Amino acid sequence: MNDLPTLPDPVVSTAKATETPPAPPSSQPEPSLLETLQQPQMLMIGILVLTILLAGQTWSSHARVNKLREEMALRLQKGDAVNAETGSLARSVQENTKELQAKVALLESKQQEAQSQQLALEQLYQDLSKNRDEWALTEIEQVLSTASQQLQLAGNVPGALIALQNADRSLSRSDKPQFITIRRAIGRDTEKLKALPSVDSVGVALRLDSAIAQIDLLPMLSDEKPTLPAPPEKKTKAKAGGKDSKPAPAPAPTSPWLQAVQDTWNGWSGEMWTDVRQLIRVRSVETPDALMLSPTQSYFLRENLKLRLLNARMALLSRNETAFRADLIAAQEALVKYFDTRAKSTQTVQALLRQVQSSNLAIEMPTLSDSLNAVRNYKAKP
C-alpha cells in the first residue's frame, strides 16, 4: 500500500549466484580478504534493513487494517441504524401507501358513484324536460280543444281569445325555437277571432231577463178587471202669434149661479159615464178562447212564456239562431194572443223582444284547427 523500494531477495540472489557457472579465469587480480569479509556484513545489513522495513510495513498495514476495521464497524453500525430507520420508514411508507391506496380506492368508488349519479341526474333532467314539454303541450292542447268547443257551441269569443293568449304565454316561457310553428298558428287563430264582428250577448241576455221578470205583472185578456187604456194626450193649444193661429173667441159672460150649476152637472155626468164604462165594455178580440182561461191556465200560460224566453236565452248563449228566432216569435205571438197589448207594461215587453230579435246571431265562428293541428303534429314527432 505504501510505495517502498523493492529489494532483491538474498536467497534468489544466492541461488542465482550458485547457479551461475564459474567465471573463467581472468586476468584481474583476486579480491582481498577485507573485501571478502565486508560482503556478508553488507548482506546482513541489507537483510536487517529489509526486515525492519517489512516489520514497519507490517505494523503500518496492521494499523491501517485495524483502523479500516474500526471504520468498517462504525460504518456497519451506522448502516444498520440507517437500515433500521430505512426499514421503519419503508414500513411507514408502506402503511401510508396502503392507506392512500384505500383512500384512492374509496375516492374512485365515490367518483364513479358521483359520475353515475350525474349521468342519472342528466338523464332525469332530460326526461323531466321532455316530460315538462309534453305536459305543457298536453295542457295547451286541452285548453285549445275546450276553447274550440265553447267557440262552436256557445260562440265564446273572449274565452277563446284568453285561451290562445295563455297558450302563447306558456310557450314563450320555454323560449324554444321548436315552438315557433305552434306560436305562428296561435297568432293566426287570434287574428281570425279579433276580426269577427262583436255581438252584445250580455246586453241581449239582460233584456231577456228584464222581459222574463215582467211576465208576472202583465195584464191578461182573461182578467176580471182589465187595465184601462191610457188616456189620449190632449192637444196643446196653438201659441199666440203663430202663422196659422187664429184668436180664440171671447167667452160669453155668464152669471155665477149658472156657472156653478153647469160645473155640477158636468162633474156628475162625468162620474156617471165612468161608472157606465166600467159596467159595460166592448172589446174586439180575435181569439175568443183567450177570454175563457181559468186562473190555473193563466198561471201555466205565464210560466210557459217564461220558459220560451229562457229557451231563447240559452239559444243565444249557444249561438243557435234557429231556436232563438223560433222562441222569440212564439213569445211575441203569446203576448198578442193572451195579454192586453194596450197596457203600457205589455208594450214595454214587446219593445224589449223586438230589440232582442233585431240582434244578429248568424255569425260563422272559426275553428282553432290550425293551433290544434300544430300542437298535435309537434307531439307526434319522435
Where the chain has pLDDT below 70, the residues are: 1-38, 125-133, 154-155, 175, 197-200, 223-254, 275-292, 360-364, 382
Which pLDDT value is given to residue 154? 67
End-to-end CA distance of the chain: 97
Separation CA 361–CA 365 (nearest Å): 10
- Tell the CATH topology of 111-196+367-380: Four Helix Bundle (Hemerythrin (Met), subunit A) (1.20.120)
pTM of this structure: 0.42
Which pLDDT value is given to residue 307? 92
Which pLDDT value is given to residue 264? 84
Which pLDDT value is given to residue 86? 84
Quick one: which of 129, 140, 332, 301 has its CA closest to 222?
Answer: 301
